[in-house]
Amino acid sequence: MGGKSDSGGQAPYHNFDRVNSVSSASLDKICLKRKSPSLFKNQALTRYCNQSCVTGQAALPIILFISGIIIEIAIAGAFVTFFSGASIYGERLSARALAAAEAGIRDAQMKIVRNKGLGATSYSLPVGVDSTSVIVAQTVDNPNNLYIYTISSTGTALSRQKKLVATLVVSQITGLAKLQSLVEQSIQ
């Protein structure tokens, strides 16, 4: 420390005449201790401190910009997850309503097979947590000795409803029952 330098005979200031010989961490500590880097007697140290202070200012907007993009992607992902989950739940309810309507058709078929002259009737049937309402209408075809039943079953699962209509033909003589058609109809 006590030697002469080529900077006009003054002792070197903290041995920072050569900035390149000191680690950047040491220089950063010195820059942080000083309020103004222009107070340094060494021009190289002043230049280093000014550059390190300027480069840190650009980091904040970049970090905020990248954070905004990440938050936007997360919000979009949450919306996609919510809406796809809601559509899957709606499909599941529709399938449950259809299963309840099918159960109503099968129940009415069993009642008709047990009593081939059942006649017109309507009833409700619980199917697990869902329900179905069944309407049976009978038409007699005397020349062919047939009973023609039209079975209408509306299955309900929470807010979803499905309606199935079946036509069942039963022989008056033998009691043989044949399912002629089973179609889904829209609910009005």
* Whole-angstrom distance, CA of residue 132 vs CA of residue 166: 15
Residue that is written with structure tokens 């309503």 in the block: 97
CB neighbour list of residue 54: distance below 8 Å, 6 or more residues apart: none
- Residue 36 within a domain: yes
Nearest of 15, 21, 48 to residue 34 by alpha carbon: 48
Measure the CA dihedral 153/137/106/104, to 10°.
30
Residue 130: give the domain boundaries.
99-185
Residues 119 and 173 in one domain: yes
Domain endpoint, select from 37, 57, 77: 57
Tally of CB atoms within 10 A around 34: 13
pLDDT digits (tens, 9 = 90+) for 95-128: 999 999 999 999 999 999 988 878 889 999 999 8
* Whole-angstrom distance, CA of residue 156 vs CA of residue 94: 9
Q: Is the pLDDT of residue 1 over 50?
A: no
User: What pTM was estimated for this model as a whole?
Assistant: 0.58
Domain endpoint, select from 34, 57, 80: 57
Q: Which carries the bigger pLDDT value, residue 125 or residue 26?
A: 125
Nearest of 47, 155, 16 to residue 93 by alpha carbon: 155
Q: What angle do CA 134, 140, 142 make, to 5 degrees?
A: 165
What tokens appear for 161 in the block?
Answer: 């409803």
**What CATH code is carried by the domain that includes residue 124?**
3.30.1300
- Residue 65 within a domain: no
Residues 38 and 107 in one domain: no
Residues 52 and 126 in one domain: no
Residues 53 and 105 in one domain: no
pLDDT digits (tens, 9 = 90+) for 63-105: 999 999 999 999 999 999 888 877 888 889 999 999 999 999 9
Q: Is the pLDDT of residue 44 over 90?
A: no
Cα-Cα-Cα-Cα dihedral sign, residues 124, 127, 128, 129? negative
Q: How many domains does the chain have?
A: 2
* Whole-angstrom distance, CA of residue 75 vs CA of residue 8: 64
